[in-house]
């Protein structure tokens, strides 16, 4: 794979199945990316170094996923000017509403573009990263147009499969 343009980081290896949705989406769009396990709480210095070095290493978008008092995306965003996409991980007790609030309610000056809780959010993080890169990459833009058409076609096909005529 080429030099990665997107970095996917997560707070725990138990989040990997969720984040594979982001990785698979980026693969579908042919966007080279890397995956790392970081932790704003257990590995703060490594996380800061990683975030600070990302731009220099050619990373253009960072996807960060965490659960509970989910500080990972916010801490990454504190250490870089790259766009940071946050994915709130579903949690056992509070079902990810803690992760959502901790990711989205960022103070002025340090944004995190937050996705839905869980797998839908992870998949969309991949699409959103591609959309960001596509703002300056015509080839990727065409792939996104095709993807949008595929989504619409998918709905049409489901109607056909169920035997629903579509006007």
- Give the footprint of a copy of itself on residues 136-165 (CB under 8 A): 136, 141, 144-145, 147-148, 151-152, 154-156, 158-159, 161-162, 164
Phi and psi at residue 150, to the nearest 5°: -60, -40
24 belongs to the binding site for a copy of itself (CB under 8 A):
no
107 belongs to the binding site for a copy of itself (CB under 8 A):
yes
105 belongs to the binding site for a copy of itself (CB under 8 A):
yes
Q: How far is the CB of 50 from a copy of itself (least distance, A)?
A: 7
Other CB atoms within 10 Å distance of the CB of residue 128: 19
CA distance 28 to 38: 25
Of 65 and 82, CB closest to a copy of itself: 82
CA distance 155 to 108: 39
Contacts for 89 with CB less than 8 Å, ≥ 6 apart: 10, 11, 15, 18, 65, 66, 67, 70, 96, 99, 117, 118
33 belongs to the binding site for a copy of itself (CB under 8 A):
no
Of 2 and 135, CB closest to a copy of itself: 135
30 belongs to the binding site for a copy of itself (CB under 8 A):
no
Residues 60-89 contacting a copy of itself, CB under 8 A: 60-61, 67-71, 74-75, 77-79, 81-83, 85
Phi and psi at residue 134, to the nearest 5°: -70, -15
């Amino acid at each position: 794979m080429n030099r990665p343009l997107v970095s996917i980081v997560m707070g725990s290896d138990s989040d990997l199945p969720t984040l594979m949705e982001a990785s698979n989406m980026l693969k579908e769009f042919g966007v080279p990316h890397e995956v790392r396990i970081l932790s704003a709480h257990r590995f703060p210095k490594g996380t800061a170094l990683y975030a600070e070095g990302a731009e220099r290493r050619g990373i253009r978008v960072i996807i960060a996923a965490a659960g509970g008092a989910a500080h990972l995306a916010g801490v990454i965003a504190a250490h870089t000017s790259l766009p940071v996409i946050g994915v709130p991980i579903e949690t056992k007790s509070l079902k990810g509403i803690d992760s959502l609030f901790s990711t989205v309610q960022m103070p002025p000056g340090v944004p995190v573009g937050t996705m839905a809780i869980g797998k839908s959010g992870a998949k969309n993080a991949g699409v959103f990263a591609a959309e960001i890169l596509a703002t300056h990459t015509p080839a990727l833009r065409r792939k996104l147009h095709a993807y949008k058409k595929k989504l619409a076609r998918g709905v049409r096909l489901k109607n056909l499969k169920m035997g629903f005529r579509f006007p």
